[in-house]
Structure 1
Amino acid sequence: MAEKRPITVATGDGIGPEIMEATMHILEKAGAEIDPEFIDVGEKVYLTGNSTGIPQEAWESLRRTKVFLKAPITTPQGGGYKSLNVTIRTAMGLYANVRPCVSYSPVIENKHPDMDLVIVRENEEDLYAGIEHQQTPDVVQSLKLISRPGSERIVRYAFEYARQNNRKKVTCLVKDNIMKLSDGLFHQVFKEIAAEYPDIESSHYIVDIGMARIADTPEEFDVIVTPNLYGDIASDIAAQIAGSVGLAGSANIGDEIAMFEAIHGSAPDIAGKEIANPSGLLHGAIMMLVHIGQPEAAQKVHNAWLKTIEDGVLTGDMARGKASVGTKEFAAAVVERLGQSPSTLEPVTYSNKTIQKEKDIKRPKHEVKRELDGTDVFLFNNTLTVDEIGQKLERAAGDTFEFVMMTNRGVKVYPDGFSETFLSDHWRCRFQKGEGKQVKQSEIRELLSRIEDEQLDWIKLENLYRFNGKIAYSLAQGQ
């Protein structure tokens, strides 16, 4: 008999204990070779004064088993409590969020009967890095961070996922017509990696029309890969139109550790009534079985679940007014059908193929020549006119720099700027030398001193670089 695979299990809050009991019962009867270690996370841990919702012994279990099956948890009302999911994702390096969104028509009514897509969302970078600053009374900033290594591993994961699961196409959603550098990098990496997978079709949409197409014609899509923010929005849109928010599972995958869960919340209003649908958590568990190399058990459970709903055994949220069963009765019905397959719905198959991890791949070295081309100095000012600031900056530029322009909220306002633009108290001031002349950091320090001498309040700077001779910074509107 094979040694059972240790996994960490959290029963969660609200309906969590009920649906976890049902899920574990099904897995046991299906012959899943797992050895659960139960931990406490969530509401009761928060209320002990632990702002993360997860105690030290739980971290130790996660590091030991490297697999986490988690029921929904409740975050207490009020401030000071951090998102448990975000904490685990960032602390454990869970870079890929994988969410299948499937129509189960005609068993469950749906406007898109052919919908069967998977969203692979980058899980650590982008605006969700949460790096924000208030710089002036009028203006705050949030830094959007997109890295080449982060983009490479999420895009490669999407193509490997497609290959492992017999998917035919991977689609990239970005907004690189506007964010040409950040989203542009993600798209460029997508094109590079897509070329390594000639057996899989690749396509690209600007995110706004891409999401519109998800809502209108989701059957066009197979696997979607996208940065963090867009993926968060797209996955909720897709789950909603699939009619399966209560049915969908989710995986959060890292190089070492993975977390599996339902996408819905803890539903405290129905806790203890034994009417909750365990399907979302069960689908998360199915993804877990595939991840730990037990595809046969995953296939057995999934097909039994499909046969169960096909036979009309439904919890209240699926029945929609028709006869329904409770949590335990539904789990018993799935167990009764283990070894069976659906006839109307499409049976599923899982393979022993594994997804190649980024750390196993020898990444190419990109030889880059970096040159300092100038600097953008940001000012706080709510008293001086545009011309008064401009004249002071002309003097501060001295003989070393050319004061190229000043913008407000990205629009050029000096010299010869757009007087019609609404002005905030936050100003970007660009200084460069002539074409081909490199800037020294010592010269920038001296520039800042001269700006201070002009009684101007600088709040930050961003250096301007060329990489391999190509400018790597945005031009202003009107520049």
Structure 2
Amino acid sequence: MYKYIISKRSLATLRETVAPKEYGGRFIVTLIPGDGVGKEVTDSVLSIFAAENVPVDFETVDISGNDAADKVNAAVESLQRNKIGLKGLLHTGAAGETDHGSFNVALRKRLDVYANVAHFKSLPGVQTRIPNVDLVVIRENTEGEFSGLEHESVQGVVESLKIVTRAKTERIARFAFDYAKRHGRKHVTAIHKANIMKLGDGLFRNTVAEIGAAEYKDIETSAMIVDNASMQAVAKPHQFDVMVTPSMYGTILGNIGAGLIGGPGLVAGANYGREYAVFEPGSRHVGLDIQGQNVANPTAMILSATLMLDHLGLTRHAERISNAVHEVIAEGQTTTRDIGGSASTTEFTKAVIGKLASAQ
């Protein structure tokens, strides 16, 4: 059994499929709890899945400790076996804080899960300054500023290489347009800095425009410079529908999107490739400052897990859990402190399980 993550069209246009492992009616999924509050929010998912009798068994790989780099290899091997993963965020310190690069980037590049999708949509029950936000950021995961190619050519001079290729830009552009078509969206905006980086970002902007004009005439295509897009997203977010971006710009706009709808604890996310799919919160906040306090909002991780269930074809479970989460938030009686409540992670989880039980 498998489910297409992109509409079925010719192989020449790089449409991807993922075939998850299923044994005896149950799926085996790789679980990477992550750092910070990762274990707390993935434990929330485990509790909800158990209460809902979801036919998913997790193979857990904990990437932490002094041998974390070796565990990345174990995580990659697990994902290669299982095809599908649920992942918390992994902490990457600044220069001098850690002696390794980003494990998040390493996993994406090694598995070639090239398309990151995050949907920023206002939730009933969460008070924000701008209501009715509904925009999608689709980010290229494997090149751009996050290519990881840096060196010190001479002492005190560092060169950091930004890689942009036509092939990978065409791939992410088609993914974004296909996503728009599948979800009834009408407008794709390419985010760039081609006024300064005329070759690299110029290639990205022009390639997206060419793909749109040639293959997706029913979808409006535009382009916007990243600094202007950041301002416009804060001031007038309703003008955006789907934004397609190189790696770093997507991270920036994703954090803006999280701020618009109430914080990083609310944003689900997914990473797709030809062979693998990895689901994780859509905003890059590990939560080291609240680790171990049982106050983290598990909504982003739970909703990421429902995206995974939908991807596996377990649509009924996905709908029930997603509905239960949204009902608890809308009622506002058992919400976490990041969105104005006082409930703990555990209390929020129990409230979701209670909603599921009452909806039987």
Give the equivalent residue in structure 2 for 1:221: 240
Q: 1-side partners of 2:217 and 2:324: how far apart?
A: 35
Q: 2-side partners of 1:8 and 1:241: how far apart?
A: 31
Q: Which digits, 9 at most, give the CA deviation of each residue in 1:407-427, with x for residues without a partner?
A: xxxxxxxxxxxxxxxxxxxxx
SS in 2 for 1:235: helix
- Among residues 192, 204, 220, which one is paired with 2:223 in the alignment? 204
- Among residues 178, 186, 189, which one is paired with 2:207 in the alignment? 189
Shift of 1:225: 0.1
Q: Which digits, 9 at most, give the CA deviation of each residue in 1:259-288, with x for residues without a partner?
A: 222235443444343332211111221222
Give the equivalent residue in structure 2 for 1:3: 25
Residues 1:27 and 1:229: Cα distance change in structure 2 (over 3 Å):
same
Q: Which digits, 9 at most, give the CA deviation of each residue in 1:292-330, with x for residues without a partner?
A: 33333222221221111111134332442x5x3222221
Q: Percent identity?
A: 38
Letter in 1 for 2:219: I
Q: 1-side partners of 2:169 and 2:358: how far apart?
A: 40
Residues 1:296 and 1:192: Cα distance change in structure 2 (over 3 Å):
farther
Residues 1:269 and 1:132: Cα distance change in structure 2 (over 3 Å):
closer
SS in 1 for 2:248: helix
Q: 1-side partners of 2:45 and 2:224: how far apart?
A: 38
Q: 2-side partners of 1:335 and 1:326: how far apart?
A: 14
Residues 1:79 and 1:13: Cα distance change in structure 2 (over 3 Å):
closer
Give yes or no for contact 2:32–2:75 (8 Å, CA) kept in 1: no
Q: 2-side partners of 1:31 and 1:292: how far apart?
A: 15
SS in 2 for 1:177: coil
Give the equivalent residue in structure 2 for 1:41: 63
Shift of 1:133: 4.1
Give the equivalent residue in structure 1 for 2:336: 316
Shift of 1:130: 2.8
Shift of 1:291: 2.6
Letter in 2 for 1:103: S
Give yes or no for contact 1:54–1:84 (8 Å, CA) kept in 2: no
Give the equivalent residue in structure 2 for 1:97: 116
Give the equivalent residue in structure 1 for 2:11: none
**Larger Rg, first or second structure (1 or 2):** 1
Give the equivalent residue in structure 1 for 2:261: 242
Give yes or no for contact 1:18–1:327 (8 Å, CA) kept in 2: yes
Shift of 1:12: 3.2
Give the equivalent residue in structure 1 for 2:312: 292
Give yes or no for contact 1:108–1:318 (8 Å, CA) kept in 2: no
Give yes or no for contact 1:8–1:69 (8 Å, CA) kept in 2: yes
Q: 2-side partners of 1:270 and 1:211: how far apart?
A: 28
Letter in 2 for 1:186: F
Residues 1:56 and 1:138: Cα distance change in structure 2 (over 3 Å):
closer
Give the equivalent residue in structure 2 for 1:283: 303
Give the equivalent residue in structure 2 for 1:32: 54
Q: 2-side partners of 1:172 and 1:73: how far apart?
A: 28
Give yes or no for contact 2:258–2:266 (8 Å, CA) kept in 1: no
Residues 1:340 and 1:212: Cα distance change in structure 2 (over 3 Å):
farther
- Among residues 95, 115, 122, which one is paired with 2:140 in the alignment? 122
Q: Is 1:166 the counterpart of 2:184 in the alignment?
A: yes
Unaligned regions of 5+ residues in structure 1, if any?
A: 342-479
Q: 2-side partners of 1:74 and 1:178: how far apart?
A: 31
SS in 2 for 1:143: strand
Residues 1:26 and 1:168: Cα distance change in structure 2 (over 3 Å):
farther
RCO greater where, 1 or 2, for CA within 8 Å and sep 6 or more?
A: 2
Letter in 1 for 2:85: F
SS in 2 for 1:127: strand
Paired residues for 1:421-440 under 5 Å: none
Q: 2-side partners of 1:114 and 1:174: how far apart?
A: 26
Give yes or no for contact 1:313–1:333 (8 Å, CA) kept in 2: no
Name the structure with the higher helix share.
2
Shift of 1:135: 4.3
Q: 2-side partners of 1:211 and 1:270: how far apart?
A: 28
Unaligned regions of 5+ residues in structure 2, if any?
A: 1-22
Letter in 1 for 2:267: A
- Among residues 190, 198, 210, which one is paired with 1:180 in the alignment? 198
Q: Which digits, 9 at most, give the CA deviation of each residue in 1:337-368, with x for residues without a partner?
A: 23999xxxxxxxxxxxxxxxxxxxxxxxxxxx
Q: Is 1:65 the counterpart of 2:89 in the alignment?
A: no
Give the equivalent residue in structure 2 for 1:157: 175
SS in 2 for 1:129: strand
SS in 1 for 2:194: coil
SS in 2 for 1:132: strand
Give yes or no for contact 1:96–1:254 (8 Å, CA) kept in 2: yes
SS in 2 for 1:199: coil
SS in 2 for 1:305: helix
SS in 2 for 1:205: strand
Residues 1:33 and 1:192: Cα distance change in structure 2 (over 3 Å):
farther
Give yes or no for contact 2:135–2:238 (8 Å, CA) kept in 1: yes
Give yes or no for contact 1:246–1:264 (8 Å, CA) kept in 2: no
Q: 1-side partners of 2:200 and 2:209: how far apart?
A: 15
Q: Is 1:333 the counterpart of 2:351 in the alignment?
A: yes
Shift of 1:85: 0.5
Q: 2-side partners of 1:126 and 1:25: how far apart?
A: 38
Q: Is 1:12 the counterpart of 2:34 in the alignment?
A: yes
Give the equivalent residue in structure 2 for 1:86: 105
**TM-score, structure 2 normalization:** 0.83
Shift of 1:92: 1.2
Residues 1:314 and 1:220: Cα distance change in structure 2 (over 3 Å):
farther
Give yes or no for contact 1:289–1:295 (8 Å, CA) kept in 2: yes
Over aligned residue pairs, what C-alpha RMSD do you find? 2.6
Letter in 1 for 2:32: A
Count of aligned positions = 333
